[in-house]
Structure 1
Amino acid sequence: MGENETLSWTKQCSLKWSDFKAEHNPASYEDSHSVIKYGFTWTVDSEKMGSDILFLIKNIQISVEFCPLLSSVRPSEISDQLLKYEQGRFDLAELVKRENLSSLQMKFEGKKFPTRGKNEEQRKQLAKEDSGKMIAQEIEHLQNLLEEKLREYDEITDYGNNLEKVTEFNLKFEQLKS
């Protein structure tokens, strides 16, 4: 696994303790720590309108990524229950993505944005850069929403110790995989 490699959420992807590759900080109050973030790809197209070139953002795809090299577990606390809790955090990120994807896409789909630059080639290059920044800003909002939802999940499930609440969440997460 390369330095920048992540595990992308799929219906078939289940976390394993071997995916937690960071050394656990013995001073940490957490028995496990997972880093989950959103990645994205998109297509940018340009259109000439008179002397102006406008760009359009299409095909925004968002992926949920687990970062093994930043995720850790206290070796003495490895258990199926704790792993199920961490899987729930990963699944929650997918759920948040799905709940917000269409509104994020609607902010860009079918809209035309002005370009900057001195010539056509520069405008196309800057359109790619500007569109990336625009989407990254929306992804940052989504990441902040995820952090809020993860805090709620941690509290409601008592960090995976409340099996009844973990089971309730897992029933929701099962729908993602069907």
Structure 2
Amino acid sequence: MSENENLFWTGESSLNWSDFKAEHNPASYADSHSVIKYGFTWTVDSEKMGNEVLFLIKNIHVSVEFCPLLSSVRPSNTSDQLLKYEQGRFDLAELVRREHISNLQTKFEGKTFPTRGKNEEQRKQLAKEDSGKMIAQEIEQLQQILEKRLQEYDEITDYGHDPEKQSKYSLKFEQLKP
């Protein structure tokens, strides 16, 4: 992994304290801070129907990404319990992704959308741009859902300090692993 790369959620990978590469703010109340976001890829095709060029969005893939360069931990407070809590935040993002991916795919796949532009080449280029913006709006909504769920997780587990509640979440997250 190069220094600038995000870590992608997989069922086999686990976070390590060495993944938290940002310098921790000593004034921060929190012992750790992780930045988790959604990334996406897709394919866009265009087809001519009469005089109109329409585009189709296919193969939408949404990934859960942990951002090491934006994530930090107070060096004096690293513990297995805190790392388990942070892993839970990463796992929760995957759970939310799974709960919402079919809605996202259903919204776009198999549907056609109008293009803009003066000629066929410009329409194809703008179809890529427009489809990316359309998906990005949906990903932003997914990110907002995640933020609410992370806030609930933080409150319920008391930021990982309630072992019983953390354990309940951990059992739920085990279901995500292959």
Cα deviation for residue 2 of structure 1 reads 4.3
In the TM superposition, residue 118 of structure 1 has moved relative to its aligned partner by: 0.6
Q: In 1, distance between residues paired with 2:4 and 2:43?
A: 22
Aligned mates of 2:9, 2:53 — CA distance in 1:
37
Distance in 2, Cα, partners of 1:116 & 1:7? 36
Work out the CA distance in 2 between the residues paired with 1:141 and 1:55: 23
> Is structure 2 residue 133 aligned with structure 1 residue 145?
no
Letter in 2 for 1:73: V
**Structure 1 residue aligned with 2:45:** 45
After TM superposition, list the pairs within 5 Å mapping 1:98-177 onto structure 2: 98-177=98-177
Q: Tell me the residue number matched to 1:32.
A: 32
Shift of 1:161: 0.3
Give the alignment's Cα RMSD to 1 decimal: 0.8
Q: Percent identity?
A: 80
Deviates more, 1:29-38 or 1:1-10: 1-10
Unaligned 5+ runs, structure 1: none
Shift of 1:36: 0.1
Residues 46-96 of structure 1, C-alpha deviations (whole Å, 9 max, x = no match):
110011000000010000000000000001100000000000000000000
**1:92 aligned partner:** 92
- Alpha-carbon distance, 1:4 to partner: 3.9
Tell me which residue corresponds to 1:60: 60
Q: For 1:176 and 1:58, locate their aligned partners in 2 and report how far apart those are by CA, in whole Å.
A: 25
Residue ranges of structure 2 left out of the alignment (5+ in a row): none
Distance 1:167 1:3 in 2: 32
User: Following the alignment from structure 1 to structure 2, what is the Cα–Cα distance between the partners of residues 5 and 121?
Assistant: 33
Give TM-score scaled by structure 2 length.
Answer: 0.98
| TM-score using structure 1 length | 0.98
* C-alpha displacement of 1:123: 0.3
Distance 1:4 1:117, change over 3 A: farther
Question: How many residues end up aligned between the 2 structures?
Answer: 178
Q: Distance in 2 between matches of 1:174 and 1:154?
A: 18
Q: Distance in 2 between matches of 1:4 and 1:129?
A: 25
SS at match of 1:159: coil
Code of the aligned partner of 2:116:
R
